[in-house]
Amino acid sequence: MASPTLICDTEPWKNLKNHVDEIKKTHLRDLMSDTERCQSMMVEFDGMLLDYSRQNATPETTDKLYQLAEAAHLKEKINRMYSGEHINSTENRSVLHVALRAPRDSVINSDGNNVVPEVWKVLDKIQEFSERVRSGFWVGATGKALKDVVAVGIGGSFLGPLFVHTALQTDPEAIESSRGRQLRFLANVDPIDVAKSINGLNPETTLVVVVSKTFTTAETMLNARTLREWISAALGPSAVAKHMVAVSTNLTLVEKFGIDPENAFAFWDWVGGRYSVCSAVGVMPLSLQYGFSVVEKFLKGALSIDQHFYSAPFEKNIPVLLGLLSVWNVSFLGHPARAILPYSQALEKFAPHIQQVSMESNGKGVSIDGVVLPFEAGEIDFGEPGTNGQHSFYQLIHQGRVIPCDFIGVVKSQQPVYLKGEVVSNHDELMSNFFAQPDALAYGKTPEQLQKENVPPHLIPHKTFSGNRPSLSLLLPSLNAYNIGQLLAIYEHRIAVEGFIWGINSFDQWGVELGKSLATQVRKQLHAARTKGEPIEGFNFSTTALLTRYLEASSD
Ligand code: F6P
């Protein structure tokens, strides 16, 4: 593949740079009156509707973005990912989370091996194990059924499963299948999180699932030792075998920790941590809580998007369009942030999950070949469900900084409420906001409009909304396990598209290492100070002063 080293050196990138001035002359108020343009900016797939007509873009912009995609060899890069090439070059690994939801009879190779049979071997094992636990066949050390699960893990071994669990918790089918059961998560090494995760739980009825790709992550290992102690103290050390299982790629360390490898559920180095929710990382705790058949529907939803992403032409391809529009907003229009605004309380953990997938993947400063980027890649993701966010940070979005927004809505509520005598349901009320906010951002309110409303002149500047603020709307038919899987995969692939265009490696995360190694040094010093009274040394003045204060004050 002969390509210039950096995408910003290509003609399509330069054409888009030149195109910015034209777009800056437009206003969404006018663009939205062009029905043909708006029609061309709507895409349907499998009952969902993407409307990106409120982007600061015209069909000319999208054409130029497709040319950029071609210059970045986007299609080839997607194909290389699906065919198991080592596209994560700094770790010399394939990137095959799509294999985690592939049908049993498909063939996806990594290093010459079809990985699909291995994936299904683990899925079958999870199905069998989770059914034994759920049916009370597998019991705890005192013979009681294990109805509560604490999943211990952090980062990608936590955020994805938490998002899916939170989204399923109010789904009628999932409520039915999880009756009498609890799933909790323990992520933070803060002892407060330990206390919260086991508060009110009885070790006799609790199963701990330690989830760690590496089985070395300091926080997870300390939390796992803490819960092992909690179980042993209550039920004796031999109870650990019945009350602790693991999900990891490192089965040697699982065994060393004291968990029977028979009770370990594997995944592979070709699954990135933040892309691992469809591996045993998510499938195991979620199957224990909801049953394997619900989780299988979630996997099928993700698969439907994998197939769409692989085969749909770019102009009809939802993840590709979303990825290209994000690149447009970040690299050309200069908007560094993106707000993820689901109008569904069930999706309250979606933004935190996407924050990791996106920011750990694309928060990079060099190209995949190690060349320092002369442009900024990645974006700042944040979000909250609507309408809560409207009463929090939307002020800034409406009248402060320009932040492209993703509005995500659902046609059918998981939990509809119809009050007697009221035609507009509670869900209609929620969705009224979902439909109103994008127009408020796009159109704004002019001083002339305010004058006509007899607003006092001194308030006009305060009540003016500039408008022309970009957003997109994604309307899902409902929010069940299948749609949740679709939503996950749409964002996973969108983020990959952005990285492919920017020419970075979206699948490594070296940026998290420095802080980890400095924490190890601090831990050593704390140990030496507490055990041998050694003075704090080797740090700058500031850190030494803070550590000294911490040691003095905590030994009172
Ligand atoms: O924060 C860095 C990171 O390596 C993430 O990428 C990963 O998901 C998380 O830590 C947890 O890692 P592990 O699953 O190995 O415990």
- Predicted local confidence at residue 5, as pLDDT: 79
Residue 164 CA, ligand 1 centroid: distance in Å: 18
Instruction: Identify the active-site residue in 17, 391, 412, 524.
Output: 391
**Catalytic-residue membership of 262:** no
Report the pLDDT value the prediction gives residue 4, as an integer from 0 to 100: 52
Question: What is the spatial distance between Cα 322 and Cα 315, in angstroms, rounded to a whole number?
Answer: 11
Strand pairing category for 48-51 and 42-45: antiparallel
Q: Which residues line ligand 1 (CB under 6 A)?
A: 154-157, 212-214, 217, 220, 273-274, 360, 509, 512
Q: List 149's β-bridge partners, or say none.
A: 183, 207
Task: Cite the beta strand spans of 95-174 per DSSP E.
Answer: 109-110, 113-114, 148-152
Which one of the listed residues 121, 144, 516, 524 is annotated catalytic? 516
Quote the pLDDT of residue 322: 98
CB atoms within 10 A of CB 555: 8
Question: Does residue 556 have a pLDDT over 90?
Answer: no
Mutating to test ligand 1, I would choose from 158, 250, 271, 512 the residue with most ligand atoms within 8 A of its C-beta, which is: 512
3-state secondary structure (DSSP) of residue 133: helix
Atom number, ligand 1, closest to the C-alpha of residue 157: 14
The per-residue pLDDT for range 131-143, each reduced to its tens digit, is 999 999 999 999 9
Radius of gyration of the chain (CA): 25
Nearest-atom index, ligand 1, CA of 217: 16
CA distances from residue 398 to 287, 379, 445, 463 in whole angstroms, order as listed: 42, 19, 10, 11
Q: Residues 438-444: what's their mean pLDDT?
A: 98
Q: Please, what is the average pLDDT of the chain?
A: 97
Q: Which is the catalytic residue, given 360, 379, 384, 492?
A: 360
Is the pLDDT at 262 greater than 60? The verdict is: yes
Q: Which atom of ligand 1 is nearest to the CA of 273?
A: 8
Q: Which ligand 1 atom lies nearest to the CA of residue 274? A: 8
Is pLDDT above 90 for 369? yes
Residue by residue, DSSP assigns 495-536 as HHHHHHHHT--TT--GGGHHHHHHHHHHHHHHHHHHHH-PPP
Residue in 157, 269, 354 to alter for ligand 1 test, most ligand atoms within 8 A of Cβ: 157
Please tell me whether the overall predicted TM-score, pTM, comes out greater than 0.90 for this model. Answer: yes
Kindly report the protein residue whose alpha carbon is nearest to atom 2 of ligand 1: 512
Residue 452 has a pLDDT of 98
pLDDT band at 555 (very low <50, low <70, confident <90, very high): confident
Query: Which tens digit of pLDDT belongs to each residue from 41-67?
Result: 999 999 999 999 999 999 999 999 999
Which atom of ligand 1 is nearest the CA belonging to 214? 15
Between the CA of 529 and the centroid of ligand 1 the distance, in Å, is 29
- Tell me how far the alpha carbon of residue 549 lies from the centroid of ligand 1, in angstroms: 31
What separation in Å is there between the alpha carbon of 213 and the centre of ligand 1? 7
CA of 156 relative to ligand 1 center, distance in Å: 6
Half-sphere exposure of 348 (CA within 13 A, CB side): 9
**pLDDT above 70 for 325:** yes
Q: Please tell me the predicted confidence (pLDDT) of residue 312.
A: 98
Other CB atoms within 10 A of residue 459 CB = 10
User: Rounded to whole angstroms, how far apart are CA atoms 244 and 232?
Assistant: 11
CA of 144 to the centre of ligand 1 (A): 33
Task: Flag whether pLDDT at 527 surpasses 70.
Answer: yes
Q: From atom 9 of ligand 1, which residue's Cα is the shortest distance away?
A: 155
193: CA distance to ligand 1 center in Å? Answer: 18
Terminus-to-terminus CA distance in the chain, angstroms? Answer: 65
Distance of alpha carbon 261 from alpha carbon 215, whole angstroms = 13
Left if phi > 0, otherwise alpha if psi is -120 to 50, otherwise beta: which for 458? alpha
Instruction: Verify whether residue 516 is a known catalytic residue.
Output: yes
Residue 214: the pLDDT is: 96
C-alpha 103 to ligand 1 mean position (Å): 27
Residue 196 annotated to the active site: no
SS3 state of residue 25: coil
Backbone angles phi, psi at 34, to 5 degrees: -90, 95
How far CA 3 is from CA of 53, 66, 254, 373, 505, in Å, comes to 32, 16, 44, 16, 16
pLDDT at 3 over 70: no
Nearest to 65 by CA among 500, 505, 506: 500
